[in-house]
Amino acid sequence: MPFSLVYYLSHFARIEWVKNFFAAKTAPLETPPYFRGFPELTGELCQHSLFCMMACPAPGAIDVVHSGKKWEPRIHKGHCIRCGLCVEACPHGVLRSGRILDTIHREHTTLSFSFRIDIDPDKCMGCGNCAVACPVNKVIDAQMSHGGKASTDQLLLRVNAGKSEVLHMEKCTGCKTCENHCPNEAIRVSRLLEAVQNPEAP
């Protein structure tokens, strides 16, 4: 038995092993460069139409304030999920950011794009890589622990009872970071295209 104890200590009771044992199972993951930034002002004059505020799905992310002699949208970074909807909603081009969600009017047809997340419960191992990697989740809860567990239900997705689940689909920007970080191909992000025909439309 003394041999077993020596063997055990030499193989397991090393500083590196102890560090790894207590360290996070999911390492902090890099946000990909193609994930867009927060909306910025273009310099165009704000007309105070408030379309940006109406389009915004994140409570408290944007307001329009009177600063000096003009109106101006203000982005609150702790709340903004960088979906880009305010950019697209503003008819005066006051804001800019990368565009992923889109609506196009073409030949009497309106084309709208959105996203959908499918999680295969048989393949999901509950590792939490998707939830930890999601850039939207990082904005909402920068302290999210390994395993994708979190204290707020405002997250886009999290792990609950050993499986990943989507809480706020409307916050997804379709960047596919979750899909790219899943070790078991359990999560899929797809882009949906809806076409509505309207003979009256341009």
| Binding footprint of ligand SF4 on the chain (CB under 6 A) | 39, 55-56, 58, 61-62, 75, 80-86, 117, 119, 124-130, 134, 136, 148, 156-157, 159, 164, 172-178, 182, 184, 186-187, 189
What does DSSP say about strands 40-41 and 95-96: parallel, antiparallel, or unpaired? antiparallel
The H-or-E segment that residue 53 falls in is helix 51-55
Provide, rounded to whole angstroms, the least separation between the CB of residue 11 and ligand SF4. 29
Provide, rounded to whole angstroms, the least separation between the CB of residue 122 and ligand SF4. 11
Q: Collapse the DSSP code of 139 into the 3-class scheme (helix H, G, I; strand E, B; otherwise coil) and give the result.
A: helix
Query: Which one, 129 or 150, has the nearer CB to ligand SF4?
Result: 129
Query: Could you tell me if 168 and 156 are in contact, meaning their C-beta atoms sit under 8 angstroms apart?
Result: yes
Query: Which one, 94 or 172, has the nearer CB to ligand SF4?
Result: 172
Provide, rounded to whole angstroms, the least separation between the CB of residue 191 and ligand SF4. 10
Query: Which one, 103 or 198, has the nearer CB to ligand SF4?
Result: 103
Query: Could you tell me if 58 and 140 are in contact, meaning their C-beta atoms sit under 8 angstroms apart?
Result: no
Query: Could you tell me if 105 and 190 are in contact, meaning their C-beta atoms sit under 8 angstroms apart?
Result: no
